[in-house]
């Protein structure tokens, strides 16, 4: 039987293509992305990670089992204690200090996606929340794997090689694989045929909002 994530992706194929093959991502692969665009993205991604941690905290409350609670708790710890620190170090390499990040104003596109995820989670169950998060968690792994195969993408001369290597690496690819597996487990419990139509709607909208996140950065040219 086809995995739940694959069914959702197929049902939202145009939105998924627009997101995973956005010009912003392609320009990271060939190194042509304007540096100002990437800096703007980095700042907003820092703010996004804060909201991402809130979503995982909500997942603890929504979890139907102790195992799911522990998985969500580990996600919160990984974001707050590991990923945030790594992101701050990445930002420092682009001339962005912790003070720059903390003073930053949230862009409407960042707020739109994170508020959608949190609202979906508050209104529904853990499956709905995880479907809303899937374009980010699983999508980044797919995007980075695609970019890593671009000739020269991981070469010393590409300023975006660190981002690509991080998300294309084994550690993050395993995070994405675990997210796919959890969707299958939750889907087996909750996803009736009628419910799956609702999940497609959530996934499609979340994917569209993720594409808007790329577009936000792409509009910054200098």
List the catalytic residues.
136, 210
C-alpha to C-alpha distances, 191 to 7, 64, 185, 186, nearest whole angstrom: 12, 14, 10, 8
**Long-range pairs for 118-126: beta carbons < 8 A, 24 or more residues apart:** 118/51, 118/54, 118/55, 118/58, 120/202, 120/206, 121/55, 121/58, 121/59, 121/62, 122/58, 125/62, 125/64, 125/190, 126/59, 126/62, 126/63, 126/64, 126/68, 126/186
- Exposure string for 149-183, b = 16+ CB within 10 A, e = fewer: ebeebbeeebebbebbbbbbeeebeebbeebbebb
For residue 59, give both structure tokens.
């997942």
């Amino acid at each position: 039987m086809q995995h739940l994530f694959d069914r959702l992706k197929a049902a939202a194929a145009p939105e998924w293509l627009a997101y995973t093959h956005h010009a912003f991502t392609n320009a990271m692969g060939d190194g042509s992305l304007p540096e100002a665009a990437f800096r703007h993205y980095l700042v907003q991604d820092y703010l996004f990670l804060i909201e991402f941690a809130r979503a995982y905290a909500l997942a603890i409350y929504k979890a139907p089992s102790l195992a799911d609670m522990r998985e969500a708790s580990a996600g919160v710890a990984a974001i707050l204690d590991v990923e945030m620190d790594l992101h701050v170090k990445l930002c420092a390499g682009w001339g962005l200090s912790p003070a720059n990040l903390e003073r930053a104003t949230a862009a409407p596109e960042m707020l739109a996606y994170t508020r959608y995820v949190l609202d979906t989670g508050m209104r529904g169950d853990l499956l709905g929340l995880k479907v809303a998060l899937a374009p980010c968690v699983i999508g980044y792994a797919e995007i980075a794997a695609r970019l890593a195969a671009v000739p020269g993408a991981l070469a010393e001369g590409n300023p975006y090689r660190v981002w690509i290597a991080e998300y294309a690496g084994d550690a993050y690819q395993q995070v994405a694989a675990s997210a796919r597996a959890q969707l299958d487990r939750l889907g087996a419990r909750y996803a009736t045929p009628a419910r799956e139509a609702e999940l497609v709607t959530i996934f499609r909208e979340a994917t569209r909002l993720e594409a808007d996140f790329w577009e936000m950065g792409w509009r910054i040219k200098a």
